[in-house]
């Protein structure tokens, strides 16, 4: 019995590694076929794992919002000028 326990402890890391490789291969196949399971798996891990480029992403979002505000403000000004010219 002790031999089986020792053997199990020696084989456990290798079995975990083989199962991980199998899951990676399976997910790759599912992703190529666009299966819902692969999409759900990816979204789940994307929510859990931290974003390594979070600062860059936040800066990009802030910059896009500022550009959108500038475009909205720029769109409003010419309309006011055209309206006053038409009334004259």
Tokens representing 88 are 């004259």
- The answer on 45 and 67 residing in a single domain is no
Return the half-sphere exposure (C-beta side, CA atoms, 13 A cut-off) of residue 53.
Answer: 5
Question: Which pLDDT does position 81 carry in this prediction?
Answer: 52
Same domain, 42 and 64: no
User: What tens digit of pLDDT does each residue of 7-60 get?
Assistant: 999 999 999 999 999 999 998 998 899 888 888 888 888 888 877 777 888 888
> Rounded to an integer, what is the distance from CA 44 to the centroid of its chain?
10
Q: Contact at 8 Å (CB) between 57 and 51?
A: yes
- Is residue 45 domain-shared with residue 64, that is, in the same domain? no
Do residues 13 and 20 lie in contact, with contact meaning Cβ atoms separated by under 8 Å? no
Count of domains forming the chain: 2
Are 35 and 77 within one domain?
no
Mark whether 60 and 78 lie in a shared domain.
yes
Domain of residue 88 covers 53-88
CA 44/CA 47 separation, integer angstroms: 5
In this structure, the answer to whether residues 2 and 40 fall within a common structural domain is yes
pLDDT of residue 13: 95
pTM > 0.85: yes or no = no
- pLDDT above 60 (res 88): no
């Amino acid at each position: 019995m002790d031999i089986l326990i020792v053997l199990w402890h020696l084989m456990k890391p290798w079995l975990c590694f083989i199962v991980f490789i199998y899951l990676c291969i399976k997910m790759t196949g599912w992703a190529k076929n666009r299966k819902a399971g692969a999409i759900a798996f990816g979204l789940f891990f994307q929510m859990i794992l931290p974003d390594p480029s979070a600062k860059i992403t936040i800066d990009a979002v802030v910059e896009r919002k500022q550009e959108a505000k500038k475009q909205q403000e720029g769109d409003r000004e010419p309309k006011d000028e055209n309206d006053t010219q038409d009334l004259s």
